[in-house]
Amino acid sequence: MRNIRIDGQRLWDTIMEMAKIGATAKGGSNRQTLTDEDKAGRDLFVRWCREAGLEVTVDRMGSIFARRPGRNNDLPPIMSGSHLDTQPTGGRFDGVLGVLAALEVVRTLNDHGVETEAPIEIVNWTNEEGARFPPPMIASGVFAGVFSLEEGHGIRDAAGKTIGEELERIGYKGEASVGGRPVGAYFELHIEQGPILEREAKQIGVVTGGQGARWYEITVSGEAGHAGATPMDMRKDALVAAAQIVQAVQRIGRRRDPYGRGTVGIMRVSPGSPNVVPDEVFFTVDIRHPDADVMTEMDGELRAAADEAALNHGTPVEVKETWYSPPVAFDKGCVAAVRQAAETLGYSHMDVVSGAGHDAVYMARVTPTTMIFAPCEKGISHNEAENCKPEDLTAACDVLFHAVLERADAK
pLDDT in tens, the chain (411 residues): 678 999 999 999 999 999 999 999 999 999 999 999 999 999 999 999 999 999 999 999 999 999 999 999 999 999 999 999 999 999 999 999 999 999 999 999 999 999 999 999 999 999 999 999 998 999 999 999 999 999 999 999 999 999 999 999 999 999 999 999 999 999 999 999 999 999 999 999 999 999 999 999 999 999 999 999 999 999 999 999 999 999 999 999 999 998 899 999 999 999 999 999 999 999 999 999 999 999 999 999 999 999 999 999 999 999 999 989 889 999 999 999 999 999 999 999 999 999 887 999 999 999 999 999 999 999 999 999 999 999 999 999 999 999 999 999 865
**Measured distance CA(405)–CA(397) in Å, rounded:** 12
Q: Are 158 and 288 found together in one domain? A: no
**Measured distance CA(268)–CA(275) in Å, rounded:** 16
For position 258, what pLDDT does the model report?
86
Which of 261, 295, 324 is the last residue in one of the domains?
Answer: 324
**Measured distance CA(83)–CA(77) in Å, rounded:** 19
For position 410, what pLDDT does the model report?
61
Residue 377 DSSP symbol:
G
For position 411, what pLDDT does the model report?
52
What lies within 8 Å, CB to CB, of 168 at 6+ separation is: none
For position 40, what pLDDT does the model report?
98
Q: Are 205 and 226 found together in one domain? A: no
For position 293, what pLDDT does the model report?
96
What pTM, to 2 d.p., does this model score? 0.85
Q: Are 314 and 336 found together in one domain? A: no
Residue 180 belongs to domain spanning:
8-211+327-408
Question: Which CATH number covers residue 48?
Answer: 3.40.630.10
Q: Would 1 be classed as within a structural domain?
A: no
Q: Are 49 and 145 found together in one domain? A: yes
Residue 77 DSSP symbol:
P
- For residue 81, the surrounding DSSP H or E stretch is strand 78-82
